[in-house]
Amino acid sequence: MALREIVFDTETTGLDPFTGDRVVEIGCVELINHLPTPNNYHVYINPERDMPEEAFKVHGLSEEFLSDKPKFAEIAQDFHDFIKDTPIIAHNASFDVKFLNWELEKAGFAKIDNDLVIDTLAMARQRFPAGPNSLDALCSRFSIDSTKRTLHGALLDSEILADVYLELIGGRQTNLMLSAEDQDLSSSGEQEEWSKRYREPAKQRPAPLPLRLSAEEIERHQTFLKEIKGDSLWARYLPQTEPEATGEDPS
C-alpha cells in the first residue's frame, strides 16, 4: 500500500489564536512514498480582522489582499477532507496545529489527531543537538535551494520543508521504488506524469565492473564450492581458472 503524507505550513496574523489571531494561508504538499505529487492544497483565507504590521512584514499578506478571500468556515470541509487520516508534517508543528485546531473546532470539525503529527523541528534537534535548526539553517545544511524564500509563504515553505523532511529521514535514497506494487500508485494522467518524472529506469553500466578477486581468492572459493553438495549458484558467476603448470597430472 502506498504511503501518503502531507507536508504543510500556515501563515497567521500573530502568535496566539486564543487572543484573536487567525490563519490567513495554508499550503500543503502531498507525498506518496516520500515523492511529491501534483496534488497540492493551497488557499488564502480572510481572517475577518486587521493585519498587524509585524505579521505583514513576515508574509506580506495585507488586509486588503485577503478581504475578498474565503473565510475559514468556507474552506474547512475541503481542508479537512484533504488531510483526513493522513500523517501531517510541519516545522515547529505545535504552532501550526494549535492554530488549525482552533479554526477547525470553531468551524465544527474534529481537531487534528496528535498521533498523526510529525514535527521536523523535533527531528532536527534530535539529529543536530547543537543546531541551528531553523528551516533556513537546515536548507543550508542539506544544500537545498531556498533563494526564492524572500518572504514566508505557506506553499513555498511546504515545498522546501518536503525536501528537508526527506533528508531528515535518510536522504533521497528513500525514494527508491523496489516493488512492483510501488509502480502502480494511480492510473490518473497527472499521477502517471509525475511517476515518469521521478521514476526513470535505473541506468545500466556500459561495461561490467572489472573482477576484483585475485586468482588465489578465486581458487580458494572454488575449492569451497566443491565441498557443497548440489549445483551452487555462486559457481556460475566465477571465471574458470586453469590449474597452474606444476609438472603434475591435474587429474
Tell me: pLDDT of 30 over 60: yes
**194 and 235 inside one domain:** no
Tell me: pLDDT of 184 over 60: no
CATH assignment at residue 167: 3.30.420.10
Which residues are bridge partners to 5 per DSSP? 31
**133 and 91 inside one domain:** yes
Tell me: pLDDT of 181 over 50: no
CA distances from 19 to 13, 14, 16, 53 (A): 11, 9, 6, 17
Looking at residue 224, what is its pLDDT?
78
Q: Is the residue at 69 inside a domain?
A: yes
3-state secondary structure of 151: coil
Looking at residue 45, what is its pLDDT?
98
**101 and 33 inside one domain:** yes
Q: 152 catalytic, yes or no?
A: yes
Tell me: pLDDT of 251 over 90: no
Q: Is the residue at 251 inside a domain?
A: no
**126 and 31 inside one domain:** yes
Tell me: pLDDT of 94 over 70: yes
Looking at residue 146, what is its pLDDT?
79
Which region among 38-42, 59-63, 135-139, 178-182 has the lowest average model confidence (pLDDT)? 178-182
Do the bridges between strand 41-44 and strand 23-32 make them parallel or antiparallel, or are there none, so unpaired?
Answer: antiparallel
Q: Is the residue at 186 inside a domain?
A: yes
**58 and 148 inside one domain:** yes
**30 and 86 inside one domain:** yes
Tell me: pLDDT of 85 over 60: yes
Encode pLDDT of 223-240 as tens digits. 877 777 666 666 666 555
Q: Is the residue at 249 inside a domain?
A: no
Tell me: pLDDT of 215 over 90: no
**How many domains are contained in the chain?**
2
> Which residue among the candidates 34, 59, 152, 221 is catalytic per the annotation?
152
Looking at residue 223, what is its pLDDT?
81
Q: How far apart are CA 9 and CA 16, in angstroms?
A: 16
**211 and 165 inside one domain:** no
Looking at residue 43, what is its pLDDT?
97
Q: Which long-range contacts (CB under 8 A, 24 or more apart) does 105-113 make?
A: 106/72, 106/73, 107/72, 107/73, 107/76, 108/76, 109/76, 109/77, 109/80, 110/80, 112/83, 112/88
Looking at residue 13, what is its pLDDT?
98
**215 and 94 inside one domain:** no
What mean pLDDT do residues 185-210 have? 49
Encode pLDDT of 112-154 as tens digits. 999 999 999 999 999 999 999 999 999 999 999 877 665 578 9
Q: Is the residue at 165 inside a domain?
A: yes
**51 and 142 inside one domain:** yes
Tell me: pLDDT of 110 over 70: yes
Q: Is the residue at 247 inside a domain?
A: no
CA distances from 144 to 87, 114, 140 (A): 23, 29, 6
**223 and 161 inside one domain:** no
Alpha helix positions (H), 24-153: 53-59, 63-66, 72-83, 93-106, 120-127, 135-141
Which of 12-26, 145-159, 182-196 holds the top average pLDDT? 12-26
Tell me: pLDDT of 96 over 80: yes
Tell me: pLDDT of 202 over 90: no
Looking at residue 182, what is its pLDDT?
46
**48 and 154 inside one domain:** yes
Looking at residue 170, what is its pLDDT?
87
Range of the domain at 217: 204-240
Looking at residue 226, what is its pLDDT?
76
Looking at residue 210, what is its pLDDT?
62
**159 and 85 inside one domain:** yes
Q: Is the residue at 250 inside a domain?
A: no
Tell me: pLDDT of 187 over 60: no
> pTM for this structure?
0.68
Q: Is the residue at 245 inside a domain?
A: no
Looking at residue 162, what is its pLDDT?
95
